Amino acid sequence: MTRIAALDDALPGDAAALLRSCCGAEQWVHAMVGERPFETLDTLLAVAEEQWWALTPADWLEAFAHHPRIGERTGARAQDERGAAWSAEEQAGASAASDDVRLALAHANVAYEAKFGYVYIVCAAGKRGDELAALAIERLSNDEDTELHVAAEEQRKITRLRLERLFGDDA
């Protein structure tokens, strides 16, 4: 884990690299670098959420593109090593799923992307593969605007989880 003081004191490029492993939206990273110092985890998390909801849908889509499909290893845009490792851990339930569940997830990923135009985003940490597949199928009934906001909320959860993992020693 990294101390918040190290983030607060880091050069802008180094701070951006740390934050980028938590969320791939460049506008969010830029805003967060500019909001320093945070001093506490609670402040960091509050500002992160505020900055997330201040983004445009295009920024959200940029963040989504950094995630691999559920059950896969790489996204449309590369994550750094830390982000890729976290994605693998977060998707452990999908990785441990039976072949039938992995096939259902693959089909759900394709259907989701065909309908919405972006990767299925879900905070997968702690969820089994069958849960992830069922959620994807359930969310296919959403209209485009509703689903974009559901996906944005899932990304917010992922970002928060990653910030807590990275800076949780300051709690």
CATH number assigned to the domain comprising residue 83: 1.10.3330.10
The total number of structural domains that make up the chain:
1
Report which listed range, 77-81, 98-102, 106-110, is most confident: 106-110
* pLDDT of 89 over the 80 cut: no
The pTM score is 0.85
Full residue range of the structural domain in which residue 110 is found: 4-170
What phi-psi label fits residue 62: left (phi over 0), alpha (psi between -120 and 50 degrees) or beta?
A: alpha
* Other beta carbons less than 10 A from residue 116's beta carbon: 20
pLDDT-based confidence at 102, cuts 50/70/90? confident
- DSSP letters, 28-40, are HHHHHHHH----S
For residue 90, what pLDDT is reported? 56
Q: Rounded to whole angstroms, how far apart are CA atoms 156 and 149?
A: 10
